[in-house]
Amino acid sequence: MHFDNISLTCLLALSACLTLSDPVTAIAAATPALLFGFVGVVGTLAFSTFTSKGSGDTHANDVAPCTRQRDMKPLPSHGLSIRPGRAKCLPAWLEEPVSATPIGLFRLLFGLCLYNFSIGDARGLLGGVARSAVGVPYFGLCFLRPAPLGYAADMAVALVLKVAVVLVTIGLCTSSALFVMLVSLFYTVTQDATTYNNHYVLYVLVSLVLLWIGSSGHSLSVDGALGAYFRKRMRNEVPRWHIIALRFTFVQPYFWGAVNKASYDWLIRAQPIMGGINRMVRELNAQFSPLLKAFGAQFQATGWEDTYLPAAISVGGLVIDGILPLLLCSESLFRHRAGVLFAIMFHGANHLIFNDIADFPMVMIGSIVLFSDELVSLEALWQKAMQILAPSVKAEEIVRRRMLSLRAQVIGIFLLFVFFLPARQFFTFPSNPSWTNEGHFYSWRMKMSSKVGWVNFNITDTITGRSWEVSPMHDNFLNEFQKSRLARQPHGAVQYAAQLIDLMEARGWDRARLRVTSTSCVSMNGRPAQPLYRADFDLHPDNPIITAYWTNLWHSGVDVWIEPLRSITSGASCNAKSAHNSTEIVANLKFMYNATPFVAGWRNREFVPWQGYKRMPVN
């Protein structure tokens, strides 16, 4: 068996283990596949070292020279580097035909990942929004938030997403299925800003690129088999820029991950790495398996926090993020296969340390096939199968161009815009994005905004002096995501304050005489706890400063009502685990929700119909 086939088999096995198992069980389940893959890749490295002498150490399937400059050396189909003199023939190089097998295999792997998402996270996201009394649109993008359809309709959207993902995976009606999948996926992930994750945006972006290039159903698909059987035509090739567009999409997480990891918390304090490892150790200690429990206890007893291990992991994460795109795109077989090995180990470790990144490691591992041209055996097997299905089938040649097509240019401009979009966090907003969440969305901050703590809101009648203290943590009209994240995100806190004012207005209070303040205590990335919001600032939605927060995309003014992030040496100024009078808070929430039956879950839907951007209880 070819070494690359061994590596590919182990890659798929490891991906399945990491996705379908919990982090602790994955350690035991993934070990055989990881060891087998390690032997295969290391063997390939040694093999390529001896066989590359005298051959320039480049890929064997290098394409023909540039059609306009025949005196140049061949442009490799694998590497992305542009050597001096090659830029002139770059358009022709991007339009040259290459194998469609990597795109077909990636479509299959990506579909499997999204299927796991559709039966898990997607139902949870849509179900949580349907059960919530508050809608939290994305800052500056309120127009993107569709009106919720209700619990039954949202579950129907989840079903449509699942069916579309299955069709994309098998490659049946691929273009139409990709469009339906993209729309339903976009609807799912834009419902509530408190559920935001970078990898959700990546899923949407990859789906858009697959739909735009229009060639993902040519290979390893039912569409390809039907075309070979009925049309006697087989599409084995695509323009090179199709693969380059997908590769460039996956380079973004690596590049911006390395940029954002070059921070004090990640490099010096090794946060949130230490928190993730401590969680993993606690899970090991909680296992019934004597071996896993003994390993966790022994690891914890070594006092690893005081060793160089946290620093090694943090620095290693930054270095690997920075060099992986270079290794995977390298023209050298040795460096490329070393990059494959590092990528599998890197994403596997991320899955074990961070338990809330879901299918993201598997998607990144699956993307490795886009950087490989060593799928000759799989391509030959597919062609043989098509010849058996239709003996008279012929390969359909694509039109060779010397200049980039208009579609390629549009996609290139779009991907460049998306690539540089995360840079706004450094130039547009003066505050710390991890603390204020300005510029946080789609910036690949890589767990750098982990906050724990509490926020309470105080609604005061300025005429009578009567006040009510409420807490999102005790509000059963919120879903679990909103309870844990809403108040710790400034845009969510502003939206919740507006909801409280609307509730009081529905109870008969004049909103002009009401005032909303907050008391908070939050710890970010293990730092000493401190207040997040200024206790004397009015979060009333009619406050001009709050209005500017929603309307001014370039300067929101959060520095006026958010406390500055203090030095790591300042010490804690509050208790992030402080207990409050939950009985009084629940009573206040019952009063504010107009005596609506105070129950959790979907039963709230019949009492809280949809009205505008916020769900309000009827009088």
Residue 52 above 80 pLDDT? no
Q: Which has more pLDDT, 246 or 26?
A: 246
- Which among 109, 90, 95, 86 is positioned nearest to 19, based on CA atoms? 109
Please report whether residue 166 resides in a domain. Answer: no
Which pLDDT value is given to residue 447? 78
Rounded-to-integer distance, Cα 359 and Cα 19, Å = 6
Residue 254 has pLDDT above 50, yes or no: yes
| Final residue belonging to a domain, choices 313, 341, 373 | 373
Please indicate, yes or no, whether residues 366 and 470 belong to a single structural domain of this protein. no
For residues 137-162, give the mean pLDDT: 73
CA angle (499 as vertex; 461, 505 as ends), nearest 5:
45
Q: How far, in whole angstroms, is CA 308 from its chain's centroid?
A: 29
- Which pLDDT band, with edges at 50, 70 and 90, does 71 fall under? very low
Name the percent of the chain lying above pLDDT 90.
20
Give the CA diameter of the chain.
Answer: 89
461 and 588 together in one domain: yes
> Would 187 be classed as within a structural domain?
no
Residue showing tokens 């710390």: 432
* Whether residue 368 sits in one domain with residue 270: yes
| Mean local confidence (pLDDT), 175-180 | 94
Tokens matching residue 476: 């059963």
Closest by Cα among 515, 501, 499, 520 to 456: 520
Question: Does the pLDDT value for residue 537 go beyond 70?
Answer: yes
pLDDT given at position 303: 63
In whole angstroms, give the CA distance from residue 556 to residue 112. 40
Q: Can you tell me the distance from the alpha carbon of 115 to that of 179, in angstroms, rounded to the nearest whole number?
A: 16
Q: Is residue 312 part of a domain?
A: yes
The strand pair at 614-615 and 610-611 is best described as antiparallel
Question: Which pLDDT value is given to residue 54?
Answer: 36
Please identify which residue in the block is written with the tokens 């449509």: 160
Together in a domain, 523 and 611: yes
Which tokens is 144 given? 């993107």
Q: Which tens digit of pLDDT belongs to each residue from 275-299? A: 777 777 777 666 666 766 666 666 6
473 and 335 belong to one structural domain: no
Among 327, 357, 373, residue at a domain's last position: 373
How many domains does the chain contain in total? Answer: 2
Q: Are 434 and 525 in contact (CB under 8 A)?
A: yes
What integer pLDDT is reported at residue 292 of this predicted model? Answer: 65
CA-closest candidate to residue 592, choices 568, 561, 617? 617
Residue 334 sits at φ, ψ, to 5 deg, of -60, -50
**pLDDT band per the 50, 70, 90 thresholds, residue 184:** very high
User: What residue type is assigned to position 522 of the chain?
Assistant: V
Dist. CA 169–CA 184, nearest whole Å: 16
Q: Residue 206's pLDDT is what?
A: 95
Say what the pLDDT of residue 111 is. 94
Q: What residues are paired with 516 via a beta bridge?
A: 459
Give a yes or no: residue 64 inside a domain: no
Centre a 10 Å sphere on the Cβ of residue 35 and count the other Cβ atoms it contains.
11
- 611 and 487 housed in the same domain: yes
For the ranges 9-13, 474-478, 485-489, the maximum mean pLDDT occurs at: 474-478
Q: Does residue 363 share a domain with residue 458?
A: no
Domain span at residue 301 reads 1-57+262-373
Least confident of 12-26, 168-182, 341-355, 481-495: 12-26
CA 83 to chain centre: 33
Which DSSP string do the residues of 83-123 spell out, in sequence order?
A: -TT-GGGHHHHHHSEEESHHHHHHHHHHHHHHHHHHHTHHH
Please check the confidence at residue 112 and state whether its pLDDT lies above 90: yes
Question: Residue 42 is encoded by which pair of tokens?
Answer: 């290391």
> What pLDDT is recorded for position 287?
64
- C-alpha triplet 269, 271, 273: angle, nearest 5°: 125
The pLDDT of residue 108: 93
Together in a domain, 474 and 611: yes
Pair (590, 474) in one structural domain: yes
Same domain, 357 and 472: no
Residue of 535, 539, 534, 80 whose CA lies nearest to 326: 80
Quickly tell me which residue has 């698909």 as its tokens: 221
Query: Does pLDDT of 75 surpass 70?
Result: no
Q: Are 415 and 202 in contact (CB under 8 A)?
A: no
Which tens digits make up the pLDDT trace of 141-153?
566 555 556 778 8
- Could you tell me if residue 597 is inside a domain? yes
The predicted pLDDT at position 307 comes to 66
Q: What is the DSSP string of 378-398?
A: HHHHHHHHHHHH-TT-EEPPP
Binned at pLDDT 50, 70 and 90, residue 127 comes out as confident
Angle (nearest 5°) at CA 259 between 257 and 265: 85
Report whether pLDDT(616) > 90: no
**Of the residues 373, 408, 424, which one is the last residue of a structural domain?**
373
Highest mean pLDDT among 86-95, 163-172, 606-615: 163-172
Residue 611: phi, psi to the nearest 5?
-140, 100
Mean pLDDT taken over the chain? 75
**Percent of the chain's residues with pLDDT above 70:** 72
Determine the length of the chain. 619
Question: Which residues does residue 468 pair with via DSSP β-bridges, in sequence order?
Answer: 459
From 343, 350, 352, select the one nearest 8 (Cα to Cα). Answer: 343
In a domain, 304, yes or no: yes
Q: What is the 3-state secondary structure (H, E, C) of 248-294?
A: HHHHHHHHHHHHHHCCHHHHCCCCCHHHHHHHHHHHHHCCCCHHHHH
Q: Is residue 81 part of a domain?
A: no
pLDDT of residue 365: 93
